[in-house]
Chain A
Amino acid sequence: MANLILDDICVRFGGLQALTDVAFSVGEGEVVGLIGPNGAGKTTVFNVITGVYKASSGTASYDGNVITGLRPYQVLSMGIARTFQNIRLFQNMTALENCMVAQHSRSKSGVVGAILRSPGQMREEARIQEKSQKALEFMGLGDVTDEVASNLPYGHQRRLEIARALASEPQTILLDEPAAGLNPSESMDLMNSIARITELGINVLMVEHDMKVVMGVCSRIVVLDHGVMIAEGVPENIRKNPAVIEAYLGQ
């Protein structure tokens, strides 16, 4: 049971209370949306889950193991991969190499193996390449594998971010505004991709401002405002929730 559970997470930066008692979970086969106005602390939630920030109190656990306090690479090897709000690809590496980096935690050959090119290392290298290629093809980037990331058009870069996260063979994927800057048809593609990702048995937690995308793919929505959870529920209820409307539109 791949289950991400946040339990009363608080984050303080000096005097600023960024998150207060945030508690929700992402269960098997779920697509959970995390929404809220700017500065509500959505990306902070991601950073706490992935180990970039430490929670001031509260714990996050995954598959029954506590993950707060782990280093980011350890969180990834537990099966949680993420993308970034402002694209953070390895700019001077090819699309394929970007994905191959993500396989780092799924492989283990060392310096000696690499220098001697032992059969084990060669097999592992072939496997890494194959899996990365698959991840690229899954996101429809099969024909740009050898393109340098910085030369890809914006929409492709967004997809490559997701492909890179998928290449790490996660069970849960955190998408940070995957539709930001995409045109309507690209957004549609993205929604299809997310649906296909869930078919692979991967759970999704995503931050998104595009309500069409959120309402279209999420099975459950969590709303944050000023670091506090103000609502949680199925899309239809969230849309009608007065607290949510107030947070977005003001009184």
Chain B
Amino acid sequence: MTTQESKKLWLSCGVGLIWFLIILWPLLGITPEGLEFGKTFKVFGYVAVGVVILMLFYQVQQAGKLNFVGTPLKATSVGIGKIYEITPRWILLGIVLALAIAFPLVTGRYAHDVSISVLIYICLGLGLNIVVGLAGLLDLGYIAFYGVGAYTYALMSLHFGLSFWLCLPIAGVTAAIAGCIIGYPTLRMRGDYLAIVTLGFGEIVRLILNNWMGLTNGPNGIMGILRPEIFGFQLNKLWMLYYVILGIAVFTILAVYRLNFSRIGRAWEAIREDETAAELMGVNTFLLKLLAYAMGATFAGFAGAFFAARMRFVGPESFSFLESAMVLAMVVLGGMGSIPGVILGVLALVALPEVFREFELYRMLVFGGVMTLMMLIRPAGIWPAKRVGRRSEEAD
């Protein structure tokens, strides 16, 4: 590295540290007792020393002084990459699936609980991925379909005593119908306008759930929803429910994958790339956009029905705008249009905050910081989408 490059690096590092100090001081220094500087500078000192050490380390590494560690490390990572390349996909997927099946056998209740919400969000994320990642329609009210699915099962179970397995497809269908109803008037809109309208619709659904006392019991929610049954045997342990949602999630992954690489998935992608050109190339954009909404909503409906069965309670506050935003963040963070990306995004946003519970108050701060960093470093997501066949960026 030349001196000039290194100067530039240190300069941007210094600017970054000053920026950090400017946001840090108001957080730590302004207290009810007055202004305080000691604590700020202590924290800042730790961070600054840490950054300088990392920078020095980086410089030494750039100068090639650490090659005796770096070269073998790089060789191993390349080796692992090669093994990954040559192993057939189904073996890798089989290993992941086996781990997922074995997971509840070796972990406790808390882990089951977290993993169930991870799997629910995987269904939601993949459903939203159809709308946002494939068809390119920004949807800020997606959680409404989750709510529709959840209330469908809750009401069916409460009033008609229908079984979970019968209600699961029904919840999918009602959510798909809701998707068409919400999707229809928004079809002529693009970009920002579409986002605002879907945001409005999401809120409308939540407000209906909140205020339609006769049907939804309003803000009190619906209690006493039945658990899923298999041959008259109630699945009332968490680990049993884990397998139910694992099944739903695996179905969702498979379905979304296959849709992605079908003529319908290609048509969605074409709409995302250039809607007018897609229409002129024979894609009925009207129908396919509606289909994208309906399919996305269907998977949210499945997840919703399971959510109702798992909590045995549904209330309108579970379906707030924040949830929509979180699911959207998972899709964007993971990599729009990429199935492994969305799964990793869900893990990052659901499982990591649980891991970071020790940080307590700073949890959301760390969370926000990590998201900002991710978007700066990898704007295409953790695992960006790939297409059929070899792509040129993989070649070099």
Interface, chain A (partner B; CB < 8 A): 50, 52, 71-73, 76-77, 81-82, 84, 88-94, 96-97, 100-107, 109-111, 113-115, 117, 121, 124-125, 128, 145-148, 151, 164-165, 168
Q: Are A92 and B273 neighbours in the complex by a CB distance under 8 Å?
A: yes
A58 and B393 CA atoms in complex are apart in Å by 50
CB contacts (< 8 Å) of A73 on chain B: these are 279-285
CB contacts (< 8 Å) of B93 on chain A: these are none
Q: Top 5 closest A-B pairs, CB basis?
A: A105-B282, A146-B389, A114-B262, A90-B273, A76-B282
- Among B208-216, B225-233, B264-272, the one that faces the other chain is B264-272
Q: Are A94 and B391 neighbours in the complex by a CB distance under 8 Å?
A: yes
A128 and B267 CA atoms in complex are apart in Å by 13
- B291 touches A (CB below 8 Å): yes
Q: Are A111 and B282 neighbours in the complex by a CB distance under 8 Å?
A: no
Given the interface contacts A72-B279, A90-B277, does A146 sit within 8 Å of B390 by beta carbon? yes
Q: Are B266 and A77 neighbours in the complex by a CB distance under 8 Å?
A: no
* Cross-chain contact of A125 among B254, B262, B285, B286 (Cβ < 8 A): B262
Given the interface contacts A102-B282, A164-B281, A168-B282, does A114 sit within 8 Å of B266 by beta carbon? no
CB contacts (< 8 Å) of B387 on chain A: these are 92-94, 97, 146, 148
Contacting residues of chain B (338-396) with chain A, CB-CB under 8 angstroms? 387-393
- B278 touches A (CB below 8 Å): yes
CB contacts (< 8 Å) of B18 on chain A: these are none
Q: Are B258 and A117 neighbours in the complex by a CB distance under 8 Å?
A: yes
Which residue of B has the minimal Cβ distance to A94? B387
CB contacts (< 8 Å) of B390 on chain A: these are 146
* Cross-chain contact of A115 among B255, B282, B283 (Cβ < 8 A): B255
Report whether over half of chain B's contact residues are helix, strand or loop; otherwise say mixed: helix
Which residue of B has the minimal Cβ distance to A147? B392
CB contacts (< 8 Å) of B280 on chain A: these are 50, 52, 72-73, 76, 82
Interface, chain B (partner A; CB < 8 A): 254-255, 258-259, 262-267, 269-270, 273-274, 276-286, 291, 295, 387-393
**Nearest CB of chain B from residue A131's CB, rounded to whole Å:** 12
* Cross-chain contact of A93 among B269, B282, B291, B393 (Cβ < 8 A): B269
Q: Are B291 and A101 neighbours in the complex by a CB distance under 8 Å?
A: no
* Cross-chain contact of B388 among A52, A82, A97, A124 (Cβ < 8 A): A97
Given the interface contacts A82-B280, A148-B391, does A109 sit within 8 Å of B273 by beta carbon? no
Q: Are A104 and B281 neighbours in the complex by a CB distance under 8 Å?
A: yes
Given the interface contacts A90-B274, A146-B390, does A114 sit within 8 Å of B264 by beta carbon? yes
* Cross-chain contact of B291 among A94, A107, A111 (Cβ < 8 A): A111
The 20 listed contacts between A and B (C-beta, < 8 Å) are: A73-B279, A73-B281, A88-B274, A89-B273, A89-B277, A90-B274, A93-B266, A94-B389, A101-B267, A102-B282, A103-B263, A103-B282, A104-B263, A104-B281, A105-B282, A105-B283, A146-B389, A146-B392, A148-B387, A168-B282
**Nearest CB of chain B from residue A120's CB, rounded to whole Å:** 12
Q: Are A151 and B392 neighbours in the complex by a CB distance under 8 Å?
A: yes
A122 and B266 CA atoms in complex are apart in Å by 15
Residue of B270, B282, B387, B389 contacting most chain A CB atoms (<10 Å):
B282
A103 and B265 CA atoms in complex are apart in Å by 13
Q: Are A104 and B282 neighbours in the complex by a CB distance under 8 Å?
A: yes
CB contacts (< 8 Å) of A92 on chain B: these are 269, 273, 387
Q: Are B392 and A90 neighbours in the complex by a CB distance under 8 Å?
A: no
